Amino acid sequence: MNLARQASEIQVSEAERKKKSQNRSAKINYNAVMEKLIAGLEGKKASLLLHACCGPCSTACLEKISLFFEISVYFYNPNIYPFEEYEKRRDEIFKFVEKLNFATGREIRILEGGYDKDDYDRAIRIEECPELAFEAERGERCRRCYEFRMKKAFEYAAENNFDFFATTLTLSPYKDSDKVNEIGRLLDEQAVKNGLELRYLYSDFKKKNGYLRSIEISKEYGVYRQDYCGCVYSLSSNAAGIVAERPQRL
Ligand code: SF4
């Protein structure tokens, strides 16, 4: 059986999804879902496109899964403002992957998805909803931003016959992993409808000290850690002291 197809039988069960749709506060342990899937691969390596938002978030995600998949990291983040900051984060992640490969003997590939700031503005539809500019992180603006970047990664993975796609966006406690995984689920459904073998790998990389581990590895490898999420709105919120009310628990 194809690895990704085999995996789809292990992923989030209908019962778990039903429980969650009836009780929105019910939590699915997406890290456990991922670990179960990895165990189900029984050592066979599937290809995986990992959408990466930045170097620091990639560190712990790669530590966690790079032994189990043939990974291509996909840096696609036209949300980042200004362009000089985009270049800085891009260069950092390329350097980090190169150093990691050198230190561990792994063969992780890294790709850049391109930058057009207008694509981001269109994706979050800021002209129709100008109030989104003032939201704290983890609201609707961020949901649209996750969707925009994950959709592009999904399309790239589909065109290039990957078995799985995933994202580092579940590493940060300032991002809403439930929203990220729900977007992944809908893209996964779309893949099934289109007859693709591609599957979404659910995750919650912050679990089991993932976020703290990202800080440690970033220090170890000298990876630059930015102090705002990325878009122009997060840059100005940071300056104004507007923060998400409830970062996710580690
Ligand atoms: S705060 Fe971060 S996730 Fe939210 S819209 Fe801005 S760049 Fe995207």
Q: From ligand 1's centre to the CA of 136, what distance in Å?
A: 9
Q: Residue 113 and residue 167: Cα distance in Å, rounded? A: 14
Q: Which atom of ligand 1 is nearest the CA belonging to 142?
A: 4
Beta pairing partners, 212: none
Q: Are 250 and 208 in contact (CB under 8 A)?
A: no
Q: Residue 249 and residue 200: Cα distance in Å, rounded? A: 23
Q: From ligand 1's centre to the CA of 250, what distance in Å?
A: 20
Q: Residue 129 and residue 204: Cα distance in Å, rounded? A: 30
pLDDT at position 118, please? 92
Q: Residue 17 and residue 206: Cα distance in Å, rounded? A: 21
pLDDT at position 98, please? 98
Q: Pocket of ligand 1, candidates 233, 236, 243, 248: which has the most ligand atoms within 8 Å of its Cβ, to mutate?
A: 233
pLDDT tens-digit series, residues 93-114:
999 999 999 999 999 999 999 9
Q: Residue 47's closest CA among 107, 90, 97?
A: 107
Q: Specify the pTM.
A: 0.91
Token pair for 178? 């439930």
Q: From ligand 1's centre to the CA of 109, what distance in Å?
A: 25
pLDDT at position 236, please? 80
Q: Where are the alpha helices (DSSP H) in the chain?
A: 3-8, 14-22, 30-40, 55-65, 83-104, 117-124, 140-159, 177-193, 210-221, 232-240
Q: Residue 141 and residue 29: Cα distance in Å, rounded? A: 25
Q: With a cut of 70, which residues of the chain have pLDDT below it?
A: 1-10, 13-15, 17-25, 238-250
pLDDT at position 174, please? 93
Q: Pocket of ligand 1, candidates 231, 236, 248: which has the most ligand atoms within 8 Å of its Cβ, to mutate?
A: 231
The answer to whether 142 is a known ligand-binding residue is: yes
Backbone φ, ψ for residue 47 (5° rounding): -85, 145
